[in-house]
Structure 1
Amino acid sequence: MSKNKVHYLKKLEIISKINTQGLTVRSVSHDYNISVSTIKDWLRLYDSFGISGLVPGTSIKYPNEIKMKAIEDILVNHLSKADVLKKYKITQNSVLNHWIKRYNNDKTLKQRGVGVRKMNKGRITTFIERIAIVKEIIASDFNYQALSEQSGVSYQQSYSWTQKYKAHGEQGLQDRRGKSRSSDQQLTETEQLKIENKALKAKNELLEIENQLAKKLLEFEKDVTRSL
């Protein structure tokens, strides 16, 4: 039986037999004449996306940061495609293959890829700027690429500053190259509040987006449940 021709309700029935009735994947595979690998793929999709993951045509948009990490795990860290699909909640193997193909053939994607991140060459920044950028990166759930482009700095800069901040706090962002700490690098209370407010605003915007997505998914699952 082709996995593309199986109705999502049938997929849900099969998953239920495994998750609630304790049947093995192999026994269900035999009963329904569906390959073990296909059923495991449905289980992965259900674990990652719920019922919507079983519905054909479900489209998920992935940020460039996720694409880069997935490609890096395949080409550099040598993880299996199955592990990468599960780790980053990627819907289909074909989606991952498409990213890898683009990375190998498209210079634009290569610039966003492993070890080549050259979208920005970097620039000189102030101590206050570095703190603001790092706090926005943290608030955005570490979306280095997007914040680097937005701030006009390189990926390497934003990543390095974030690691220093995590290890040493704000003092880790001081520029100490041949200089003693100067008084103009000290944050005033007003500057500190501005930075914190900016980071809080970015975090709230991210939470609002996540809440809207969660509501839409919940409404979808309720509609599907009513049809069962």
Structure 2
Amino acid sequence: MAGSDEADALLSAASELPRCNLWAFDRRRATPTAEALELCAQAYANLSKAVEVVRSVDRWMEGLDAPPEKLLFLAAEAQSSLWAALGVAGVESDPDQLDLFIWVREIGAAHRIFVARHMRMEDPADPTKWAELAEKLDAFGERITSEEKQRKDHDKLLGKLEYELGRLERAHDDPSKVVAWDGVVRALTDWVSGGRPANSREICDLLREHVEAMPEGVELTPEAKQVLEAVEGLAGAEG
């Protein structure tokens, strides 16, 4: 394949792209075995999985927040597996592998997370265990996706409640206050029905100064009642 017209076309196209090295088609290299190429393909796939998980939460990629230790451990294993697989194929380096290595090292140092394995040449990950690593990356990625969705939903509902309470503060008569309270009730209903605690301190603290001034005519859902009862209980406990 290395001498085919198709390979020549790929090499020509790759030369126009930044950081694109089609080493498998390089005529100056000995042709890697099929087994070595398969290891590299699977290692590249796992590196991609690791980067997707990292990039799914921008604040990690930008170093603004500390990622879970396990993510750094998995990313370290993914880049090391690729480095080891490339070695089997006779390739010394890869920019994508190096980028992830540097990210793990810098983020770990910034947040004082010690990554004990797979960050040194004498401690390579085993590229033949790519299937196990893929399973771990998939499972962790699903967990992070779920947690990130919950975080965004949390922030969205909190913002919605703050908006409705702002409307309530601007209301000058009971009819307009009832309309604003209807929005507050919807926000509280969504909060509790989504599995969040009715006695959440951040929610209760926002409501405390408004509950006693609730006008008549506000229809409360069971979920909203739970929150308002929690607010009253908190106020009573604090005297």
Q: Does the alignment reach a TM-score above 0.5?
A: no
TM-score (norm 2): 0.26
Give the TM-score taking structure 1 as reference length: 0.27
Name which one, 1 or 2, has greater alpha-carbon Rg: 2
